[in-house]
Amino acid sequence: MASIQETLTELVPVKQAELVALKKEHGHKVIGDVTVDQCIGGGRDIKSLFWETSLLDAQEGIRFRGYSIPELQQKLPTFKGPAGQGEPTPEALVWLMLTDTIPTKAEADSLTHELYKRSEIPQHVVALLKSLPKSLHPMSQLVVGLMALQKDSKFAAAYASGVHKKEYWKHTLEDILDVWAKLPELAALVFSNTYKDGSVGSKDPSLDYSANFARRLGYNKPEFDELMRLYLVIHSDHEGGNASAHTTHLVGSTLSDPYLSYSAGLNALAGPLHGLANQEVLGWILDLQKKFKAEGKPVNKETITQFAWETLKSGKVIPGYGHAVLRKTDPRYTSQREFALKYLPDDELFKIVGTIYEVVPDVLTEHGKTKNPYPNVDSHSGVLLWHYGFKEFNYYTVLFGVSRALGALSQVFWDRALGMPLERPKSVTSKWIQEHVNNS
Ligand code: AMX
């Protein structure tokens, strides 16, 4: 069986030739226009980014290399065996994102083994993380740790020694595998430094990426392992324009190595309109529970509606609702709801999440601003973690950060393999727009 490195060595020249042919034959054709609204409105829907690993449809949601989440659940290998014996593993998804082919169980396992081999964290980084104040946000701690690991970048070393550009992708792949392998270790150290005594649980070579991550965090329950697999799969990629993926790609386009590129992506993920929304959602639900308990009222459709309006009237967003691209309920929300129905149907917070879903779309529609009144991925993830006793919700975005690396860096691999150029779109001033519209 070919390793991931051997598989990609065969594939890279094929994909390079395909892209050259695409450019040669169709390079001059128009795929979109840009309006003034789009230019000053965050670039929504402008087709100007090249992203191979996934594609987002506004109505249907995400597809990874052409496969929807339910299709991945039917086709990708699981920890226990071939497809259908539980949640797919993130390693299997990574194989798919990198190679455009559904892996066999043996191929997915070989990637598990490859990552396990690379997972050790150098002592200077462990010491650095332990020196950080517990009050530093876990996302900031994760970025500090990843930046410190950059010392060992194989791409940066190869570049400094003058390697030919045709070889960039090989060194990039080495770094990416190292980053994927070490991120859960870093994340577990951050968790322990922030909430525990600095030590982490032990890992086991017979387990997969997700179960070992769970053990490092102190969780030892097969059901929680399944949740971790689902979580790491569904948060991994959401095409190229979201802030964390785009930032990673942009920084990578300067030939910053994968450590530098993904640290930048993590900083984007740490914003409340993006990945931090999952911690905000949990905070919002707990606040509403606390408020109505203190007032002696039940949490039901009426009180949630009241709380939603209070949030909107105080100039805040309802976290976990709305999306820059999606216009329907996020299938990542639906897959988590299905998990909850299977494993925790009677959970109190899960029921509240369900009631929120019954009323908030109507409230947002009546409010009349948001283009998408439906829930996104972040409105569900926190309550699942909470159910298993994972209550440190300031940390939730770190889990998102471990997952998003899988998609964003799979694309960085192809960026280097396909020789993608420095990203540098054109900006214009308001005066330029005014003159342009006057003259047109
Ligand atoms: N609550 C209240 N107002 C909302 C809203 C929400 N959930 N979603 C959008 N709006 C408002 C916007 O703030 C904007 O108001 P403005 O005109 O006063 O600036 C207006 O509706 C139009 O926004 P939009 O075009 O529908 O959305 P967008 O593309 O500008 O922003 C997003 C998308 C996700 C930032 C926004 O929906 C939002 O803030 N949601 C809440 C935060 C959240 O859940 N983020 C996570 C998204 C998923 C992810 O990246 N992890």
Stretch 57-69: mean pLDDT: 98
Q: What residue has token string 């540098």? A: 424
Instruction: Kindly tell me if the per-residue pLDDT of 205 is higher than 90.
Output: yes
Stretch 328-341: mean pLDDT: 97
Structure token digits, residue 152: 């060992």
pLDDT tens profile 372-412: 999 999 999 999 999 999 999 999 999 999 999 999 999 99
Residue 440: predicted pLDDT = 85
Stretch 143-172: mean pLDDT: 98
Report how far ligand 1's centroid is from the alpha carbon of 421 (Å). Answer: 32
- The pairs formed by 218-224 with CB atoms below 8 angstroms and a separation of 24 or more are 218/191, 219/388, 219/390, 221/388, 223/343, 223/388, 224/388
Class of domain 277-387: mainly alpha
Q: Is the shortest distance between the CB of 411 and ligand 1 below 6 Å?
A: no
Q: Which residue has its alpha carbon closest to ligand 1 atom 28?
A: 324
- Return the closest-CA partner of residue 203 out of 226, 184, 222, 227: 184
Kindly report the average pLDDT of the chain as a whole number.
Answer: 97
Q: By CB neighbour count within 10 A (0-12 exposed, 13-18 middle, 19+ buried), where does 410 fall?
A: buried
Q: How far apart are CA 246 and CA 257, in angstroms?
A: 15
Cα 151 from chain centroid? 24
Predicted TM-score (pTM) of the model is: 0.97
Structure token digits, residue 26: 């169709």
Stretch 272-286: mean pLDDT: 95
Residue 287: predicted pLDDT = 96
Report how far ligand 1's centroid is from the alpha carbon of 323 (Å). Answer: 6
Structure token digits, residue 91: 């390693």
Q: Is the shortest distance between the CB of 273 and ligand 1 below 6 Å?
A: yes
Provide the 3-class DSSP secondary structure of residue 8.
helix
Q: How far apart are CA 250 and CA 422, in angstroms?
A: 8
Cα 258 from chain centroid? 15
pLDDT tens profile 207-228: 999 999 999 999 999 999 999 9
pLDDT tens profile 99-135: 999 999 999 999 999 999 999 999 999 999 999 999 9
Stretch 251-260: mean pLDDT: 98
The pLDDT confidence band at residue 10, using thresholds 50, 70 and 90, is very high
**What's domain 54-275+391-440's superfamily in CATH?**
Citrate Synthase, domain 1 (1.10.580.10)
- Please identify which of the residues 249, 274, 380, 387 carries the catalytic annotation: 274
Residue spans of beta strands (DSSP E) within 303-424: none
Q: Is the shortest distance between the CB of 321 and ligand 1 below 6 Å?
A: yes
> What percentage of the chain has pLDDT greater than the value 90?
99
Residue 8: predicted pLDDT = 98
Report how far ligand 1's centroid is from the alpha carbon of 249 (Å). Answer: 23
Whether residue 378 lies in the annotated active site: yes
Mutate to test the pocket of ligand 1, among 285, 316, 370 (most ligand atoms within 8 A of CB): 370
Report how far ligand 1's centroid is from the alpha carbon of 320 (Å). Answer: 9
Domain with CATH 1.10.580.10 in the chain: 54-275+391-440
Provide the 3-class DSSP secondary structure of residue 67.
strand
Stretch 71-83: mean pLDDT: 96
- Please identify which of the residues 238, 246, 249, 323 carries the catalytic annotation: 323
Stretch 346-364: mean pLDDT: 97
pLDDT tens profile 294-314: 999 999 999 999 999 999 999
Report how far ligand 1's centroid is from the alpha carbon of 356 (Å). Answer: 17
Q: Which atom, in ligand 1's list, is nearest to the CA of 330?
A: 48
Provide the 3-class DSSP secondary structure of residue 157.
helix
- Return the closest-CA partner of residue 326 out of 397, 406, 400, 242: 242
Which residues on neighbouring strands pair with residue 67, listed in sequence order?
A: 64
Stretch 25-30: mean pLDDT: 98
Whether residue 235 lies in the annotated active site: no
Q: Is the shortest distance between the CB of 241 and ligand 1 below 6 Å?
A: no
Q: Which atom, in ligand 1's list, is nearest to the CA of 316?
A: 2
Element housing 64 (H / E): strand 61-64
Residue 198: predicted pLDDT = 86
Q: By CB neighbour count within 10 A (0-12 exposed, 13-18 middle, 19+ buried), where does 328 fall?
A: middle
